[in-house]
Structure 1
Amino acid sequence: MNSTTLQHTASRATRRSPFPFQAMHTHSFGITLIGLVIATSATTSPASDWPQWRGTNYDGISPATLLPDNATHPSLKQRWKASIGTGFSSFSVHDGKLYTMGNQNDQDTVWCFDADSGKILWQHTYSCPLDPLYYEGGPGATPTVHDDVVYTLSKKGHVHALNQQTGQVLWKRDLLADHQLELPEWSFAASPFIHKNLLILNVGDHGLALRLDTGVTEWTSPSTPSGYATPVPIAPNALAVFRAKFISAVNPLTGQKLWEIPWESSRGVNAADPLHHDGQLLVSSSSGTALLQLSPSPTEIWKGKYRSYFNPPVKIGDHVYGIDGTTHRPTRLVCFEWATGKEIWAEPGFGSGGLVAVGNHLVICDKGEIIIATATPDGFEPLIRETVLQGKCWTAPVVAHGRIYARNATGDLVCLDLEP
């Protein structure tokens, strides 16, 4: 199927604020809190599914049950294993199927496995360079599943809409060819985000939207390099978009910027998704961390030295848990207060892995280990620490229906059962 005909409307021109934490306003912007995760996306899923990057609620927290309260000596058991090709794509789990991506011989493959058995149900392959640059290369975005369609973005701007059951191509786009986008240094890595009838992608200056049904472009922004983070919902018609040099709010229906705050990081690596809670936004990169109050206009509550690099932290209760540091030196697992940024404890000896949460437990994949620890401000309390993979593990694990899914950079995927 050929790429969809180019159709788009230009976004408004950007005006830059010269002062840190002084927002540029182009529209009246008020935050309305609505329920547990703002209903900007129509994605519906069984309670324990994980249909997109960061899960159903975009916060890295799984609704699945992990351990019974009376578990005394839990252990991990490998249920199945697969080879999926080089990359850092995480997993989506929906309707008994697992989706992910990898690259072999300069070809990307979107994989669909039976989540229980590991049987390959279908795969879709297309040409895309591995493009290693100080790392192994391969895709970094995670498939998004919505209404029986799997949406994917390659590091070079290939977008696919695939039938969830068969892998049939419903439509596809080549965004570099269609929109002459400039790639960031490490190419595109943000996962597709769905808002109503639109697929929102963090490509270009502050994003681009395609229609879900046809792939036709709804709106674009200037073609300058993007950031690497996935958009995060912060209001009914507002997404936080972590751009190459700014954190912004964008109207997903029109592409209009609602506000922007300068945020520059080394080599433009604004990669960790912001974390939204109760009208506040936690923003973090190698440059540090800030908590913003969003309404009536974005203002800084505090600023600190904690640094998310690739993977965002999780908020459990009044505390935040995440890996602090970059790939250039050893990192720490840190607990700090959401309200103040005060560090409560830090455990050294980590790499650049990722983590999610299940109930009051952290599930970490780092340096080949799966670590399950109680999320408590009292200190680091690991319950399980087992090596399950070899080599570099930068990809956040996923927990769905009581199973843990993890991968390494070279494409070894494992599905693990947790035995109490």
Structure 2
Amino acid sequence: MSKSKSRSKQPRPGARVEPAPPAEPRSLWPPRRLVISLCSLAAAAAMVRAGLLEPVVGGVVDGAVRNILTVILGFSALMSAVLWFVRESGHSPAWKRGLAFGLLGLVALGLATLRVERVSGNLVPEFRWVWQKSRDTLLARAVALPQVANAAPWQPAPHDFPRFLGPAGDASLPASAPRLASVWKKDQAPRELWRRPIGAGWGGFATCGDHAVTLEQRGDEEIITCLSLASGEPQWQVAVTARHQTVLGGAGPRSTPAIHDGVVYTAGATGWLFCVDGATGKVLWKKDVLADLGIDAAAHALAVAWGRAGSPLILGDVVVVPGGGPRGDGPVALVAYDRATGERRWNAGDDQISYVSPSLFEIGGKPFLVAVTESQVIGFDPASRDEAWRFPWPGHSNSDASCTQAVVIGPNRLFISKGYGIGAAAFDVEPGADGAWTVKEAWRNKAGMKTKFTNVAFHDGHLYGLSDGILECLRASDGKRMWKGGRYDQGQLLRVGDLLVVQSEPGDVVLVEATPEAHREVARLTALSDQTWNSPAIVGDRLLVRNAVEAACYQLPLRTGAAAADHAVPAGGALPAAETPPSAEPAPEHVEEKPAV
């Protein structure tokens, strides 16, 4: 049957054969369907950038994810247009081949000549030529500075900044700290005292008297550097051969030193713990924490992908740092070493570490050693090191990591926050009838206080922090957002009285009123000019800032009146004796509210 049908379709001998109609010429312009598709992709990208995608997906999308989605949508639009041009357009084959080979050549040239040096907090890459060396490798290596014979031990000063996030480790200076002027006038503006190049790293300064100590990376050396607070001149340096570097995390150490009784304790990005005499720069002892705990360094680098960032905590006669893993009998949350000898005294906890420093809090009238680990917030009895309670706080130290310190916001209440769509939560720690401690969630705000690797300050019942790069105020009692405004990207902050000192990621230092009423930026200083993830330090009227390129010290104007004069730092760098601040503070100058940046 099929053969007869096939024969019937053959033309009869001598019959006229009609020529096939000519093919419709291909258009030089894209068809309507492609234009609609490209417009749809552009609209989707605009929605992502504006944050309008969150109601669609039913969750919080952070800035880094928005940037990734924008790149994917943009690449899809570009490839759609290129494929149409090459395969379906009416342009000549020469034009098509030229575009295809031109794009391939540009991609090949870029891969051959460019490298991603690092990324911003929202995953915006910074490119460098492949033949360019990293900036920290161009700096001189550590030098052995002449030691002063019989150097006097360091003496603390009233407004020292001896550890990460200040004297109490809570991103708030004590009430006795000098009050900063809330208006910077032309005749009363911050004054730059010194500026100097510095190696890579994301840690801050710790100070004692005229001495400011920080960690930096220069080539293959991780260096502890002590500078004069008054002049910025180096006083001593201690180096160890170690380097941590990733594209997402950058290069260098991440922690801030701790200074206690004139002795400096530092924790490096690869696990080196140092104890150094502050007066002479002499190494009293050092310990490779990973080797001491039997942890394989390569496996640890995969599990804790962006370098060890926990700063040391002084607890009696021991110094406490994060432990780590993996190891044969499970990870260690915290490890303590004898301050005098460097011998390991104890381990605590069985969860992988995060990028948060250990803290000592008083909760319910009892002290607790608190560790924010990879997936928990754990409270330990400081005397017995036994676990007293834990609060689940999901995450992974090689992806959605925890980087934000817990904050005490009530007699029995702790606040915790992070980025990656998790947000903020508060929980209560209460003693039970049988002596055990119970933990109960008080509130949760998934859209609030999405701190990525910044920290939060608590003041007068409210919390202040950078939520995915935008400053935000939450009410501590229930987590309600009071306001959100001012884009400072993934920076850091400190609270000084009723002012927030915000170190923005681009380098500006900004003063913002610590009030739940509204976002009020009152002053701004271009302090640094490069990506800054480092926490600032404030010592009297001195502001210490740094990033992975440079460090600087500014003298800040104080509020007028006797209180300001009493708390100013003399030119020589030594601080005056502490005095009780007056009960009646001068009324702050009137400031007009500035629009959000």
Picking from 337, 342, 352, the partner of 1:210 is: 337
- For 1:376, what is the secondary structure of its paired residue? coil
By percentage of residues, which structure has more helix?
2
Larger Rg: 2
Identity across the alignment (%) = 25
Encode CA deviations 1:42-74: one digit per residue, 9 max, x unaligned: xx9543111000111121112331424787565
Quote the residue 1:197 is aligned against. Answer: 317
Quote the residue 1:284 is aligned against. Answer: 417
Distance in 2 of aligned mates of 1:386 and 1:347 = 18
Aligned length: 371
Quote the residue 2:101 is aligned against. Answer: none
Quote the residue 2:471 is aligned against. Answer: 333
Picking from 53, 56, 78, the partner of 2:164 is: 53
Deviation at 1:314, TM superposition (A): 0.2
Quote the residue 1:309 is aligned against. Answer: 452
Q: Which letter does structure 1 place at the counterpart of 2:430?
A: S
1:12-411 correspondence to structure 2 within 5 Å: 45-63=156-174, 64-68=177-181, 74-181=188-295, 182-183=300-301, 184-204=304-324, 205-221=332-348, 225-235=352-362, 236-265=366-395, 267-277=399-409, 278-286=411-419, 287-296=422-431, 297-305=438-446, 306=448, 307-325=450-468, 331-366=469-504, 367-408=506-547, 410-411=548-549
Deviation at 1:150, TM superposition (A): 0.2
Encode CA deviations 1:255-301: one digit per residue, 9 max, x unaligned: 32222222113625111110113321101112221111112222111
TM-score, normalized by length of structure 1? 0.84
Once structures 1 and 2 are overlaid, which stretch shifts more, 154-163 or 205-214?
205-214
Distance in 2 of aligned mates of 1:345 and 1:70 = 22
Deviation at 1:401, TM superposition (A): 1.5
TM-score, normalized by length of structure 2? 0.60
Deviation at 1:84, TM superposition (A): 2.3
Q: Which letter does structure 2 place at the counterpart of 1:292?
A: F
Distance in 2 of aligned mates of 1:101 and 1:171 = 17
Distance in 1 of aligned mates of 2:356 and 2:211 = 25
Quote the residue 1:32 is aligned against. Answer: none
Deviation at 1:411, TM superposition (A): 3.0
- CA RMSD, aligned part only? 1.9
Question: Residues 233 and 382 of structure 1: is their aligned pair in 2 closer, same or farther, counting only changes over 3 Å?
Answer: same
By percentage of residues, which structure has more strand?
1
- For 2:404, what is the secondary structure of its paired residue? coil
- For 1:75, what is the secondary structure of its paired residue? coil
The gaps in structure 1 that reach 5 residues or longer are 1-43, 326-330
Distance in 2 of aligned mates of 1:248 and 1:210 = 20
Question: Residues 157 and 224 of structure 1: is their aligned pair in 2 closer, same or farther, counting only changes over 3 Å?
Answer: farther
Distance in 1 of aligned mates of 2:306 and 2:181 = 42
Quote the residue 1:13 is aligned against. Answer: none
Distance in 2 of aligned mates of 1:298 and 1:239 = 15
Q: Which letter does structure 1 place at the counterpart of 2:273?
A: V
Distance in 2 of aligned mates of 1:177 and 1:171 = 15
Q: Is the contact between residue 404 and residue 451 of structure 2 (CA under 8 Å) also seen in structure 1?
A: yes
Runs of 4 or more, structure 1, over 4 Å off, are: 68-74, 221-224
Distance in 2 of aligned mates of 1:227 and 1:322 = 20
Distance in 2 of aligned mates of 1:350 and 1:294 = 33
Distance in 2 of aligned mates of 1:284 and 1:254 = 28
Question: Residues 265 and 222 of structure 1: is their aligned pair in 2 closer, same or farther, counting only changes over 3 Å?
Answer: closer
Q: Is the contact between residue 254 and residue 307 of structure 2 (CA under 8 Å) also seen in structure 1?
A: no
Distance in 2 of aligned mates of 1:315 and 1:222 = 28
Encode CA deviations 1:127-164: one digit per residue, 9 max, x unaligned: 11132231322101100000111000001110100001
Once structures 1 and 2 are overlaid, which stretch shifts more, 86-95 or 131-140?
131-140
Question: Residues 418 and 374 of structure 1: is their aligned pair in 2 closer, same or farther, counting only changes over 3 Å?
Answer: same
- For 1:199, what is the secondary structure of its paired residue? strand
Distance in 2 of aligned mates of 1:223 and 1:157 = 18
Question: Residues 139 and 93 of structure 1: is their aligned pair in 2 closer, same or farther, counting only changes over 3 Å?
Answer: same
Greater relative contact order structure (CA < 8 Å, 6+ sep):
1
Quote the residue 1:16 is aligned against. Answer: none
Distance in 1 of aligned mates of 2:383 and 2:452 = 29
Encode CA deviations 1:196-243: one digit per residue, 9 max, x unaligned: 111111222321111111110011247863111011212354211000
Q: Is the contact between residue 219 and residue 254 of structure 1 (CA under 8 Å) also seen in structure 2?
A: no
